[in-house]
């Protein structure tokens, strides 16, 4: 179990758990001058289980004599001893998280002013609190040093002042809210200010004491200086006090989409079905709805949506909102719809200012396809990313937190592999000894044999390979060599045709010298390749008659005859094609006969 390093503020000083109890008991004795019995009443033993909050000197000595426990559990130094009516008092050192919370709650009732001291986070730790939000992750990297410092200083100060910091999605992106919100509360009790991370700035909108007309700035150090001077945060804390440590975003349970294996759906809210007022209500209340009798499977699809799933919402043939579902099917009593409408609450991931006409692929999950609700197949997630996520929301699947390890590779990666496949495999590596020709030949061989695996290594050939990449490449080469998929040949002065292609090789058995045919490396490779050769299109006929029959059937089924586009982009007419084909087939027949 991790250590609890919580600190507490009392009388202007910072204390750990045990020292806090000692300071509180000491102040109570000095102020109230109690008897032993009164002190026991003020701080009952039950606050600290079987040990108790304190012992008299007599009780402590008796405990030491009767117990085999050698661990010191009380403050016994002379400077720490307290006195009540001439009797020495020792205070317990050991306090667990549960007991110290009971003690602090009890001390507050006695009138002691105790606050939890928030831990001081460095800038890097503060930034990590918000990286789960795509808009923040995308924007903060473009901030200047001054903007980044102002943001971190502001977050650090508000947290130390006792305010909760949590995240929430709004129309313009991922906003950060500061105020008072419990760990398990869906709705904040009060919002002090809203922080919106943008590309080159951070917007600050203070609600507290300015609810009718928000106090709006671009966040910088001057805003923090002014905030400290006016005392708004102190007033906020007095209205909404807490005895716990204020929360960071990481204190709230918000599972990543990859943890719930989220699906992606489209839901179309057609303007021909909904009135303008109904669409506004759905938008303002963050609700998506489908009528229970909607046909073509749409109602059943809507029922299949799970909490955590992603939904692309549009108005007819438009893209409008990207949301995450946060409820099962529900019914909102104050809605303009009757109970025949299936409703789900959602959290906004990103929204557009107004619906934008969709111009992408016409898939069933796209806004162009007629249909209310449809699921995006996992094999088409990358297409959804290309057609909707990137052009309309500037987001990727990874930024949504989706686990993409099992998805089709991105189109750019496939293009990279295709480019590698189109690269000539006949290459010459040259240079003086010791310049890495052997290693680079290993790299080129792996690249030729397994282009997709090579691409996944992320090698930048201009910058060279890292030590880790070199180790992986070497192991891949060994595996491919052992499997017979790579052969390494060293040419030298005595290396001849027979070793490379085919020839006679001599062997001696006793006193007899004999010769036998031996395949060379090149011929062996060709034979292996021939064994694994697969026709790309259909079954190829071996005889002239079968080929002619296939051609005749093709010609009979074609309304326009057979046409072919040459390399020069010219179309050969059907009659020309027929004559050329017949000539080629006759020539093949003659050649076959000759052979």
0.85 exceeded by the pTM?
A: no
**Using an 8 Å Cβ cutoff, are 388 and 357 in contact?**
no
pLDDT at 137: 82
b/e map 285-320, b = 16+ CB within 10 Å: ebbbbbbeebeeebbebbeebeebbbbbbbbbbbbb
pLDDT at 326: 87
Total residue count of the chain as it appears in this document: 595
User: How does strand 54-56 pair with strand 82-84?
Assistant: unpaired
Backbone angles phi, psi at 99, to 5 degrees: -70, -40
pLDDT at 442: 84
Q: Which helix (H) or strand (E) holds 509?
A: strand 502-509
What is the secondary structure of 92-110 as a DSSP string? B----HHHHHHHHHHHHHT
At 447, is the secondary structure helix, strand, or coil? Answer: helix
How is the beta sheet containing 13-15 ordered, strand by strand?
13-15, 7-10, 114-117
pLDDT at 260: 39
4, 93, 97, 98 from 1: Cα distances, Å: 9, 19, 12, 14
pLDDT in tens, the chain (595 residues): 345 677 888 887 888 889 999 999 999 999 999 999 999 999 998 888 778 899 999 999 888 888 776 778 899 999 999 999 899 999 999 888 778 888 988 999 999 988 887 667 788 888 888 888 877 888 888 888 888 888 999 998 888 888 999 886 544 456 788 998 877 665 677 888 888 888 888 888 888 887 666 778 888 888 888 888 888 888 888 888 887 778 888 887 544 333 336 889 999 998 888 998 999 899 888 899 999 988 877 888 899 998 889 999 999 889 999 999 988 888 777 789 988 999 999 988 888 888 999 988 878 888 887 789 999 988 888 889 999 999 998 888 877 777 666 565 544 445 555 555 566 777 888 777 777 778 788 888 888 877 766 776 667 666 677 777 777 788 778 877 776 778 888 777 888 888 888 888 888 888 888 888 888 888 888 887 776 554 334 444 455 666 666 666 555 555 555 565 555 555 555 555 555 555 555 555 444 443 3
Domains of the chain from N-terminus onward: 7-117 (no CATH), 123-251 (no CATH), 260-393 (3.10.590.10), 414-482 (no CATH), 497-531 (no CATH), 544-594 (no CATH)
pLDDT at 592: 44
How is the beta sheet containing 318-325 ordered, strand by strand?
287-291, 341-357, 318-325, 310-314, 264-268, 373-376
pLDDT at 397: 85
pLDDT at 378: 84
Distance CA 123, CA 150 (A): 10
């Amino acid at each position: 179990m991790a250590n609890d390093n919580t600190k507490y503020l009392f009388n202007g000083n910072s204390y750990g758990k045990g020292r806090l109890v000692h300071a509180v008991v000491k102040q109570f004795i000095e102020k109230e001058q109690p008897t032993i019995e009164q002190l026991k009443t003020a701080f009952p033993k039950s606050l600290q289980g079987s040990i108790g909050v304190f012992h008299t000197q007599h009780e402590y000595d008796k405990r030491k004599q009767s117990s085999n426990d050698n661990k010191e559990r009380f403050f016994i130094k002379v400077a720490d001893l307290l006195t009540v009516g001439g009797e020495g008092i020792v205070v317990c050192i050991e306090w667990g998280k549960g007991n110290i919370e009971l003690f602090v709650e009890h001390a507050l009732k006695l009138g002691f002013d105790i606050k939890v001291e928030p831990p001081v986070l460095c800038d890097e730790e503060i930034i990590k609190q918000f990286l789960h939000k795509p808009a923040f992750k995308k924007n903060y990297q473009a901030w200047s040093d001054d903007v980044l410092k102002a943001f971190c200083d502001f977050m650090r100060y508000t947290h130390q002042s006792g305010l909760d910091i949590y995240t929430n999605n709004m129309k313009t992106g991922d906003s950060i809210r500061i105020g008072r919100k419990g760990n398990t509360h869906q709705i904040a009790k009060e919002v002090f200010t809203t922080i919106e991370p943008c590309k080159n700035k951070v917007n600050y909108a203070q609600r507290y004491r300015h609810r009718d007309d928000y106090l709006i700035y671009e966040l910088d150090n001057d805003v923090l200086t002014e905030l400290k001077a006016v005392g708004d945060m102190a007033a906020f804390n007095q209205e909404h006090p807490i005895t716990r440590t204020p929360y960071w975003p990481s204190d709230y349970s918000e599972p990543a989409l990859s943890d719930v294996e989220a699906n992606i759906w489209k839901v179309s809210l057609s303007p021909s079905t909904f009135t303008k007022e109904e669409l506004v209500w759905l938008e303002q209340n963050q609700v998506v709805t489908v009528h229970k009798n909607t046909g073509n499977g749409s109602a059943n699809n809507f029922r299949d949506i799970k909490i955590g799933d992603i939904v692309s919402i549009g108005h007819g043939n438009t893209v409008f909102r990207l949301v995450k579902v946060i409820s099962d099917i529900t019914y909102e009593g104050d809605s303009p719809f009757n109970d025949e409408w299936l409703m789900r609450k959602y959290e906004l991931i990103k929204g557009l200012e107004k619906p934008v006409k969709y111009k992408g692929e016409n898939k069933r999950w796209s806004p162009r396809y007629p249909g209310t609700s449809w699921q995006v197949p996992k094999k088409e997630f990358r297409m959804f990313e290309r057609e909707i996520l990137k052009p309309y929301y500037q987001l990727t699947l990874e930024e949504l937190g989706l686990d993409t390890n099992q998805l089709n590779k991105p189109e750019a990666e496939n293009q990279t592999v295709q480019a590698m496949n189109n690269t000539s495999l006949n290459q010459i590596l040259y240079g003086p000894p010791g310049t890495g020709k052997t290693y680079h030949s290993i790299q080129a061989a792996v690249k030729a044999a397994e282009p997709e695996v090579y691409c996944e290594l992320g090698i930048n050939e201009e910058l060279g390979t890292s030590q880790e990449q070199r180790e992986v490449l070497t192991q891949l080469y060994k595996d491919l060599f052992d499997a017979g998929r790579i052969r390494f040949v060293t040419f030298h002065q005595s290396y001849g045709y027979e070793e490379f292609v085919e020839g006679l090789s001599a062997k001696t058995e006793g006193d007899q010298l004999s010769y036998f045919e031996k395949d060379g490396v090149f011929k062996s490779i060709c034979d292996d390749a021939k064994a694994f050769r697969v026709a790309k299109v259909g079954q190829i006929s071996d005889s002239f008659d079968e080929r002619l029959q296939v051609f005749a059937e093709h010609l009979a089924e074609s309304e326009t005859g057979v046409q072919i586009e040459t390399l020069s982009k010219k179309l050969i007419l059907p009659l020309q094609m027929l004559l050329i084909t017949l000539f080629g087939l006759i020539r093949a027949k003659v050649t076959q006969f000759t052979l």
